[in-house]
Structure 1
Amino acid sequence: MGSMEQNSNRTFIHDYPNSNIITTIYYESSGKSHSRKYIIHLLGIYPSNVKKTKKTSKNCPEYEIPDNYKVETTLEGYSIICETNYLSNGTVKFVLNWTDSQGIDQYISNNNSASGVAKNFLMLLNKKTRISGTILFGFDISCLIKARKTILMPINRKNSFTTLTSRSQQNKRIKLLAKDIEKESKIILKQQNFDNTKIRYIELEIGDEIVGIDLSEVNLDFTRVRQDAVVCACDEALISRDGYRHLAAISPNLEREYQISNRRNEISKYMETIIPIYNCKIELDNIQNNSNNSSNSSNNNSVNPNFSLTNDQNGFCSYRSIKDLLNTLIPIWKKKSILNIGDNIKLKFGGDGHIVTNKYSHVMFTMCLLNEGDEVLKPEKQYW
């Protein structure tokens, strides 16, 4: 069953690819119509360095020129075969083949444009008529354009994947492979009548390394939950960034390390908005004097004689608001039935510190909810 398509002022009647015959109807501005028949011998492909037709006016559309394209049509009573071929220097060779009135095969070529080779042909016949190269070659036939777009172009890679030493180069090559597999798989599945079907995951064995390619559509909610779980597991198990990177390298099913780092940064920024960290300045001059006086009059061995409070410690203190912590934690405790309406909130405050150098010391104050019972003995139940 044929179909009808319209492109600009040309209408195409065809049943391509079931039939290689395409009929067009062209309308002039005066309303006069012309018909032309095309017989497609070779569909051709759009190369990576594809050229486009030249514009004859500002509003004239441009069309991509295929390589290895062959089509048969008529011009001035002659049956001619139009061909396009890309040369090694990237230029396009336009060729017209026909048989003259004496039965001799003739051809003419032009490396500038399709209109140029058409003009040369008409000059040989001493004709003063003109024809557009786009119309003669059928570069604007929409069904052929769509068919070429579905053809997977052969890719010439200079280096083998196994010879690539840079991880970034390998990742780029794998991404290109994934795009080609996804594009080609859709065509194959459609040809095999697999409706609503797509490939989600492919696992490749490259040498001794297993590489997984995930082609599934990104579900942001599911991805975020999975990444949050990985961040939580790494924090609880004290897995470093490099450690997780090595682990993900041997297990393609794991999230990539850079994705986990990005998610960790997002979580940190979000936590800063709901439970911000404030900085404050504490003057220690009076405390230092009192400490010096007490050290001179006391023989307490618990005081490190090499430790001294200096002005370098003045002003370096950070804290979180207990109110901000409770605003975040109370809804969680209520949801877990740790706190119920009417319960008294029992908080315990503690702290620990250690001397980093002979000049600096760290002290961290924590808070826990005694309503949790024995759970307060777990480190993750201590909030600072």
Structure 2
Amino acid sequence: MPKEKTIKRTCNNISKEITEYPKTNVILYTDGRRSYQYVVKMEGLYPQPSVLAFSQGKNKYKIPDCYCVETTWGRGNNKRTVKCSINYVRDKPHFRIMYGLDFSEEVCSNMSSTAAANAVVRKLFPNNEKTLISGIHLFGIHLKTLKQVRENKKENINQSKPLKPLDLCSKSMVYKRQRNFGDQLKEQVQIKGIKIYGEDQVTLKRILYNVNHTDFQINYGLKDNEEKEKKLTSIVQIIDQNYIPREGYRALTAIEPDLEREWIVSDRRHKITRIMDQKIMISIINIPIVPTLNELDFDESSNILNSEITEINNISNGGHRSAKDILKYIIPALALNGVLDVNDPIIHLRISGDGRNVGRRLKQVMITMTILNDIQNIHKPDHHYTTVLFPGIENYELLEIMMMPFIQELDDLKNYGLKIDEIVWKFELYFSSDWKFLSICLGFNAANSNFFCPWCQISKHGQNNNQTNWKISKEIEKINEYPGHNKRPLFYMISLNNWVPDELHIMLRIWDRLWSLVISELKESNQFDDVCRKEIMQEMSRISVNFQFWKEHGADAWNHTSLMGDDKLKVLKNFNLGRILPPTRAKKIRELWNRFNQIYFNLKTKDYDVQQFQFEVEDWLELFLTPDRIIPNSNRIEKGLYSPSSITPYIHVLVCHISEFMEIHQKWGMKAFSCAPVEKKNHQQVTHFFRQTLKGGGSKHKLVIRDILEYENRSLFYLFNDNTISSSKPKKLHIED
């Protein structure tokens, strides 16, 4: 039964408190004339004696701090409920009463509870100005039940026994103290939060503290497993994309305890790997042909030789990921994002290939595919999806075996499409790579053969005749009828118009030719001496290009630094030829270089006028082939530029075929067929995954090829799953002890 407390008063009315507090937070009070119902929100506490304030009048009730109660009084239409709170501000009690809908309005007083009470009564009963109410009763300051609870709490604190030192406590006792401390701290934060921040809610998320050189951390709130999983996935993604080794991350966690433990992150990575392995199967293919050192080609300047990469021998396995599995995974997401149109279900799928040196005795060959419809991401390496990967050489027979499952899938996609969620997606296929890889996949001659062009029937003799009217004339269906096409194309299902030359390699190889012609000219005129080489290196340094000349031990020929694409463009634009050539000669060659630089820029510009481009390249070729000229009224000869024999296959393609490709593929632009992202992807994988690997090409338990393809699977998971976590940067404050 609820207990009753009877208070004798000077009048004949009897006061009562009816409650089961603290089992329930409701207290009923009546003084015989008026009844009040209190719902205790915070019982508060009495401040230190030096600060404690008392009510006015003869009773001198103690005024609590951090106190909040909802009070209901009156009957019928006059029944009202208000929220009363008391907080000490600068050691003085501050009385606040909230009223109205959702307690959206308030009155305050720093004078007395009665002043605040009468102010709110005037707001609630504006037509009855004579109505008054006791502030003591409205706030419940007089309630003996709460007074006893507050004083008992204070007495318990004062009479508590000395606590055992933390070092002597059991694990369960340490946990109990930490839990008790956290609960009480949370309560005090909520109490003080109202005083400092008012109605703005204060939520305690986490605290860190130290007891006797032992660090403690308490996290508040319900465990959000979904948010934690997202955070772990984001950490795994960052580690993967930045190639952070386990040892490096483990070292970071040793000095930053807030980071997730390495084993937890590793477990999440394995889970993602297993999920993706079920969606996109990885197959290991035996390599039947072991390349010899003589078969390897390390001449291409795009390849690397990294001393940190371990020499790898006896690798006999490659890997394959199903193109259909990859497409089934990414197409729904691309359709949802509006990249693909379900009402026009045609996917433009581009295939590419690249080979890159791994150490001194091996190449990594990579076959990728990307979706041209996703034009915003076409230049990002992660959006070129690896389908075939193997260590070996760029060789027709080897490629034919390693790509057999992929070729069959492409044939099915071309002929039957791919059904996903009752929608049959049709495919238009394209291929783009450097000249060597393209010729191999086309089953065609090398670039130095008599019939060297994959698209027309020009021969070296026709090239020397300086003809520029060669157009794309071959057909993939009759490809083996043309000279030089000795083998069936590996991608026989792709129209020859869709075998697109790589714009990046056009620039790289024509730059190589222009630079080699300048060096040859210096050698022919016996100017390629130490002074000249020093001038070249100084000029390279001026334009921020790292460039050196050197001789191999026991050799007479001079070697020089093989430049990457960006550095070649710097030289093309900014190199001062006047430092190594006579002024008139330097001016002519500079004009040739400037025009080529502009042509390359126009080539990459989508929607550039095709006829204008063709005029520009023919005009450039005419300048390139400027003949020697006899100066009138003189026996002197003004030297021209270069002869038709200096024209390379890439120059032929630039002049004769690029404008055709620009017109055919105007929807995408030539830049969409750049192999730069594929080469970057291959470079990243080689420099990371083959560094410090064992001679078997991986760890003791896993092939490096599988490691790479599992990484590729996880990359797809990151791309097409929302792993973003919302975390605002906190406002930090340092308070000195």
TM normalised by structure 2 equals 0.24
Which one has a larger percent strand, Structure 1 or Structure 2? 1
Bigger Rg over Cα:
2
1 or 2 for the larger relative contact order (CA 8 Å, sep ≥6)?
2
